[in-house]
Every structure is written in C-alpha cells, then in structure tokens.
Amino acid sequence: MKSRVGSQGSLEEGKDSVTKVVTQYKPLSIRLLQFLLLFLGIGIVFSLLSMCMVRYSVMQNVIPMVQSRFQPCFQQLSLESWIRPPSSLLHSMNDTQLFWRASIVPQIKEYPFNRTRKIAFMFLTRGPIPLAPLWERFFKGNEKLYSIYIHSLPSYKPDFPPSSVFQGRQVPSQEAKWGRMSMCDAERRLLANALLDISNEWFILLSEACIPLHNFKAIYHYISKSRYSFMGAVDEPGPFGRGRYNPNMAPEVNITEWRKGSQWFEVNRKLAVDIVKDEVYHPKFEQFCRPACYVDEHYFPTMLTIESPRLLANRTLTWVDWSRGGAHPATFGKADINDQFFKRISESPTCVYNNQPTSLCYLFARKFAPSALGPLLEHSTKFLGF
C-alpha cells in the first residue's frame, strides 16, 4: 500500500514536475511567437512603405535622398529615367565616349510620350558672355522651349548669378583654335552634349558676340516650320573656295561636293547626329584642310552636302558684315546701335524660305562689342521685338 502510495506519490510528483516544466515553457513560446509575429508585421509594413516611397519618388521625380537610399534594393526601369534630361551637364566621358553615347538614335519614329521640341542654343565662347542680359530678356517666359549650352576655354571659371539662365550650363570643354580642327571638335562637343537631352530638336551655334534679331516666338516659329536646316553651303570658285580643296581628300570628298559656308549654323537632330558620328570625313579634313584652308568653313558644309543635301537650306541665319574687308568681319559698338543700322540688316537681299522668296533671312547677327549692350537693352522692344 505504502509503496503504491509511495509510487503514486512519486508518480504524482513526476506528473507535477512535468506539468511544472510545461507551464514553465508555455509563456516563453507564446512570447517568442508574439515577437516573431511583431517582427513579421513590422517587416511587411516597412517593405510596403519603402516600395511606395520608391514608386512615389520615381514618379514624382523628387526626394533624391530617398531615391538613392532605396533604389539599389528596388531598382525599377522607367521610361521617365530615359527621357529625363541629365540633371547636371558635368560628366566624366571623354570625346570618344560622349560621341558614341550621343549618336544613339531611337529606331521607332513616333515618341510614346508628349515630346516638347526644344531649341538648343549653343554658345561657343572664350569666356564671359557680355551680352547675357539681352539674352536673358530674350529667353524669359519660354522656359519649356529651349536649353542652353556653353563651351568656353577650360581655364575660364564662369560666375553667372544663380538666377541666370546661363548658370550651370557649361559643358566640359577643351581649347579651340580659330581655323583649326579643334574648333570643329568644340562644335561637335557642344552638339553631343546637347543631343543627350532627347527634347532638343534644333541646334544653333552662337558666339558671345551674337544677338537675336527677333523675339523668341518668331525665331521658334521660323526654325520649327522650316523644311530645311540653315547650314551655309556654297560652291565658290576661286582661291578662297574651290582653291582650298586638296585632291588627297578623294574619293571621300570630291571637288564637286566641296562647299564653303559660315561657321554659325542651325541643324536639326538628324544632322546633329550625322556630324557627331562622323568617322569618314573627319580624318580627311584634319589631315588635308589646314590654314590657309579654314576647316570650320568647309568641314560641316561639305560633309552634309555629301550625306544629306536635301535637308540643307544652304544659307546661314546669322547676319554678319564683311563689307569693310579683311580677315575678320566688322564689330559694332555703342555708336552703331540706331535705326539705320537695323534698317540695313532687314533690307538685306531676299532669300528662299520653304521654297518661297522672303525678305526675312536673318534671325541672329554678329559681331557686337560689350559696349552695344546698353543701347540694345534700352531699345530692344523697338529694334528686336522683345
């Protein structure tokens, strides 16, 4: 009996100790489960939140900090990331890499988004742009329709105020010598940088001595409605035209396609790509067109006459005065800015626009000294229409 009780007791004891152990573990495992669930919940909430934030920041193109923190985990390719213009014009590409990148062209003609076509104003300068205040007035109110690029001497440190349209528009530059291939290379560099913005449809080369002759709306209309690009290209007999041709350029370049034209051009996107991607004519001109062959007057006009003659208007949009003779055109200062001067420009001989004769032939003019700025600003409404 005793032993039974004893054994029972010991059994009870054993039971007891077992239940004791069970009750000891029970609260622990529930707590563990609660912890796990809590972590799981936090995890789900957090990942949902961050996915939403990534999507939000990609769509809204804001909060770059959030974007850069989360995108490596949730990388999403979007059309937006391909068509958005580069946020900074600075880059680490050399010309080989830049030209390659800039020559990439979509093979489907129709854009699957609403593309607002812009004019790229490309300023080829030594340093400062003294007539900047006039240009600022010209651009004002047309922010969606243009972009600006500046190529200057690499040593030049720009100091445009933060509110200026020229601020931060400097492209990585190299020295360009007048009449040498380095000048054409600077122009190609400007084109290539401007091509990186897919919205740029027309590309105009200007200098710091250029002014617009009409308001923005008139210039945009003239260029966007033109069937041709305004690259000066004439077949000029005599020593300063055909006389500069070197037969070593054949068969890539024959004398019949040899052209001369003003350095200051306007080209559309197709021609800009043609210029940037060129590997056929560049070596020929570099080797066989050296002073007294001024390559910036021949390379693009000749090359495009061979490649795309039907797209060229064969005239420039930039008025210049060679009447005083010499190697450089006339420069105009304070005393020149008057009614007769602008009358003289508008009364230039007629030209052809979309196969029709017109008296409106020039949209820009050069060369203007810094002293011209004052009177130009004072009378811009009367003389220039803005």
**Binding stretches for ligand NAG (CB under 6 A):** 94-97, 112-114, 228, 250-251, 254, 257, 305-306, 309-310, 312-314
Toward ligand NAG, which CB reaches closer, 215 or 302?
Answer: 302
Amino acid at position 114, single letter: N
- Nearest approach, Cβ of 68 to ligand NAG (angstroms)? 27
Toward ligand NAG, which CB reaches closer, 31 or 227?
Answer: 227
Sheet with 118-124: strands ordered across: 146-151, 118-124, 200-207, 266-268
Toward ligand NAG, which CB reaches closer, 148 or 231?
Answer: 231
Toward ligand NAG, which CB reaches closer, 57 or 229?
Answer: 229
- Nearest approach, Cβ of 76 to ligand NAG (angstroms)? 19
- Nearest approach, Cβ of 283 to ligand NAG (angstroms)? 14
Residue 259 in contact with residue 306, Cβ under 8 Å?
Answer: no
- Count of CB atoms situated within 10 Å of the CB of 176: 22
The three-state secondary structure class of 4 is helix
- Nearest approach, Cβ of 220 to ligand NAG (angstroms)? 19
- Nearest approach, Cβ of 309 to ligand NAG (angstroms)? 4
Backbone angles phi, psi at 147, to 5 degrees: -140, 155
Inter-helix orientation angle 299-307/181-195, to 10°: 60
Toward ligand NAG, which CB reaches closer, 160 or 222?
Answer: 222
Q: What is the spatial distance between Cα 9 and Cα 102, in angstroms, rounded to a whole number?
A: 92
Q: What is the spatial distance between Cα 65 and Cα 75, in angstroms, rounded to a whole number?
A: 15
Q: What is the spatial distance between Cα 266 and Cα 134, in angstroms, rounded to a whole number?
A: 20
- Nearest approach, Cβ of 251 to ligand NAG (angstroms)? 4
- Nearest approach, Cβ of 92 to ligand NAG (angstroms)? 10
Toward ligand NAG, which CB reaches closer, 51 or 306?
Answer: 306
Toward ligand NAG, which CB reaches closer, 46 or 113?
Answer: 113
Q: What is the spatial distance between Cα 202 and Cα 270, in angstroms, rounded to a whole number?
A: 9
3-state secondary structure 286-336: HHHCCCCCCHHHCHHHHHHHHHCHHHECCCCCEECCCCCCCCCCCCECHHH
Toward ligand NAG, which CB reaches closer, 307 or 336?
Answer: 307
Toward ligand NAG, which CB reaches closer, 162 or 251?
Answer: 251
Residue 251 in contact with residue 284, Cβ under 8 Å?
Answer: no
Give the CB-side neighbour count of residue 23, counting CA atoms within 13 A.
6
Beta strand extents in the chain (DSSP E only)? 118-124, 146-151, 200-207, 211-212, 266-268, 318-319, 351-353, 356-358, 364-365
- Nearest approach, Cβ of 252 to ligand NAG (angstroms)? 6
**Could you tell me whether strands 146-151 and 118-124 are parallel, antiparallel, or unpaired per DSSP bridges?**
parallel
- Nearest approach, Cβ of 307 to ligand NAG (angstroms)? 9
